[in-house]
Structure 1
Amino acid sequence: MRMAGGNDNVKGALVMVLSMALFTLNDTFMKTLADEVSLYQILTLRNGAVTVVLLVLAWRMGGLRKGLTRRDAGLAVIRGLAEVATAYFFLTALFNMPLANVTAVLQSAPLMVMLAAAIFLGEPIGWRRVTAVVAGFCGVLLIVRPGTEGFNVYSLYTLVAVLCLTVRDIVTRKLSPEAPTMLVTAITSGLVCLFFGAFSTGVDWVALTPRSGGMIAGAALMVLGAYLSSVTAMRLGEVSFVSPFRYTAMLWALALGFVVFGEWPTGLTLIGAAVVVGSGLYSLWRETVRVRRDRDAQEKVARQRSYRPGA
């Protein structure tokens, strides 16, 4: 595998920042439509368009011809169902809570995925990163503040969304390396379209105005751009360098929430968000240290085996 140089890492980081901006812009478009178009109609239209484009990309890249094994196809379906649940709980919370609050809770997902991977996949995790998970959960509690006046069912929805996102990412890790990424993503988006299309039969569809139609089209473009740029970022730079820039989503959410919706989190929410982000960054750093230590140990063993006295 090619090792990324300094310029590649910088490019990867900048593309990851762009990806997070596009994801947050998608959320902003969706939240703006909350009082005009039902969630079911929005997701049916948005993901219908996204699925078509992803299938075309999968075809162009040979993913449709290659296909999926029966095992990977089953995992792709489970991944898609987890995404359906994530979309419902996350967007329902987004429609009823400040953008920055929902985004801040979602920043705890990498910590939950790390913990779940240790429990269900046997991936190594030390006490320091376990402590980071606990600290991150405390940060989430500062954001949602159960038992206070501001706590409601939508606060719980954000937590359920994190759990569903965790399931999705754990299933993704179990996919074989040969599974075409674009095809798996197209299946995920297609299931979101199909399920919310079925749900939408129970609600009244509204005629789209140029504004609402433009917002849905914009959301579709943002999702596509965000996905493609996040994949590009990981290919450009080293994962350990690029991944921390995912947390710039919090900065975008603060800026867009204030500019578009006039929202600004309370002091406790900001502290909680800082704790969550700090815990995530620390966990990423510890993982980098572990990987470097293991690599150095393997190289040392290889050198010892290759050494022959008198050669």
Structure 2
Amino acid sequence: MNPRDADKGLPTPPATPLLRRLKHKWAQLPANVHGIMWALVATLLFTVMAALVKALGERLHVTQVLTIRQFLMAAISAPAITRGLPGSLKTRAPLLHLARTGLASGAMFMGFSAVIELPLADSTVLGFARTFFMTLFAIVLLKEVVGIHRWAATIIGFIGVVIIMQPTGEAGFNIYSLMAVTASACAALVAIILRRVTQVDQPITILTYQAVSIGFIMLPFCIYYWQPLTMMDVILLGALGCVSWSAQMCNIRALREGEAAVIAPFDYTRIVYASFISILFFGVWPSLTTYIGASIIIAASLYTMHRESVRGKRQAVVPEDKAP
């Protein structure tokens, strides 16, 4: 019997033989396999989230969609936030939180705008540029030493981004492609700041500022561009809030169960999901240049992660070799 059910005097429903077998097989799987499965679910949910944003953006302003999404996620997270009060509001790095909130707001605004205006596969792939911006910012802000291999991978990855953006193509310069790439740069800066913040603040504090502050930043714009909601809008917005929260939880679970180096490459399954959703629900087929650029970006990113894994192993082995 589940202890919680016992406390309430409620019987625990008996597990069916099939359910017991599935739980047993799941428990026997390695932790990294658990992480991969959670990551695949997370990437699917993130792609569905983008599709919902795109559908809502056909009628509502991006700030209205973003504001309602943030407050819905805050409402879902409210029990965890309120349980941590007043500690969930205490921070040792207010300026870092301020910078992170501003950058995250910009990343979401530009990223959502790109999702709405660009083909879903294109906006998804351009979001992968975050990996290369993190390399650049790690050099400038964290003073990390980067060798020729990572520099080469970064340059090649940006070539893939340029191929998708096609700044000299028939359509000419596309402001939304630039917004997608800029959103990736902002997201990379947010990740860099998050490394510092997690060293001084509790996760509940980070969650509180993330869930509430962005919604309040977008609220004035939301009010200005407000459009009355139809029943379909309410349904889609409710789904967006639930899917966004679930995607975050699955992503956290994936990183908790498996090793980050093992989980990270599966983020690129988003392009597969995005292609299918784009074709089935929006009737848009990804272009050849999208697939070419995606192949280059993914290959460069995987090579970067491989080099980081090799570098990490060397740093772990060298002290042992030098030990007496």
Q: TM-score, normalised by structure 1?
A: 0.90
1:44 to 67, 70, 95: 67
Q: 1:133 aligns with which of 133, 136, 154?
A: 154
TM-superposition CA deviations, 1:279-298 (whole Å, max 9, x none) = 11110111000001111112
Secondary structure of 1:33's counterpart equals helix
Contact 1:16 1:230 in 2 (8 A): yes
String of CA shifts for 1:71-100, please: whole Å, max 9, x gaps. Answer: 2x3212211111110111111111111010
1:28 CA displacement: 0.4
| 1:67-86 paired onto structure 2 within 5 Å | 67-71=89-93, 73-86=94-107
Tell me by how many angstroms 1:58 deviates: 3.5
1:223 aligns with 2:244: yes
1: CA distance between counterparts of 2:276 and 2:203?
A: 32
1:195 corresponds to: 217
Instruction: Give the letter aligned to residue 122 of structure 2.
Output: N
**Matching of residues 14-163 of structure 1 within 5 Å:** 14-60=37-83, 62=84, 64-65=86-87, 67-71=89-93, 73-150=94-171, 151-163=173-185
What's the CA shift for 1:185? 2.8
Q: 2:128 and 2:227 mapped to 1: Cα distance? A: 33
Structure 1 residue 66: Cα displacement: 5.6
Among 185, 192, 195, the alignment partner of 1:173 is 195
Q: Structure 1 residue 177: deviation in Å?
A: 2.7
Report the Cα distance in structure 1 between the residues aligned to 2:257 and 2:233, rounded to whole angstroms: 35
**2:263 is matched with which residue?**
242
CA contact (8 A) 2:36 2:266 kept: yes
Contact 2:156 2:297 (8 Å CA) reproduced? yes
Q: Report if the CA contact (8 A) 1:47-1:189 is conserved.
A: yes
Distance, in Å, in 2 between the alignment partners of 1:212 and 1:66 is 32
TM alignment of 1:198-213, pairs within 5 A: 198-206=220-228, 208-213=229-234
Structure 1 counterpart SS, 2:307? helix
Which of 295, 306, 312 is residue 274 of structure 1 equivalent to?
295
Question: Is the Cα contact below 8 Å between 2:130 and 2:188 reproduced in 1?
Answer: yes
Cα deviation for residue 63 of structure 1 reads 7.2
The residue matched to 2:57 in structure 1 has which SS? coil
C-alpha displacement of 1:201: 2.5
Query: In structure 1, what is the Cα distance between the partners aligned to 2:58 and 2:212?
Result: 25
Amino acid at match of 2:178: L
2:206 maps to 184
Per mean C-alpha deviation after superposition, the further-off stretch among 111-120 and 101-110 is 111-120
RMSD: 1.8
User: Is the alpha carbon distance of 1:34 and 1:129 closer, same or farther for their aligned partners in structure 2, counting shifts above 3 Å?
Assistant: same
- C-alpha distance in 2 between matches for 1:276 and 1:230: 22
Unmatched segments (≥5 aa) in structure 2: 1-27
Q: Counterpart amino acid of 2:67?
A: T
Residue 128 to residue 265, structure 1, CA distance change in 2 (3 Å): same
User: Displacement, 1:59?
Assistant: 4.0
In structure 2, C-alpha distance between the alignment counterparts of 1:249 and 1:39, rounded to whole Å: 22
Residue 11 of structure 1 pairs with residue 34 of structure 2:
yes
Q: CA deviation at 1:181?
A: 2.1
Would you say the 8 A contact 2:69–2:240 is kept in 1?
yes
Shift of 1:219: 0.9
Structure 1 unaligned blocks of 5 or more: 305-311
Compare relative contact order (CA 8 Å, sep 6+) and give the higher one, 1 or 2.
Answer: 1
Q: Write out the 4+ residue segments of structure 1 that deviate beyond 4 Å after TM superposition.
A: none
Query: How far does residue 34 in structure 1 lie from its aligned partner after superposition?
Result: 1.5
Deviation at 1:6, TM superposition (A): 6.7
| Percent of residue pairs bearing the same amino acid type | 26
Amino acid at match of 1:154: Y
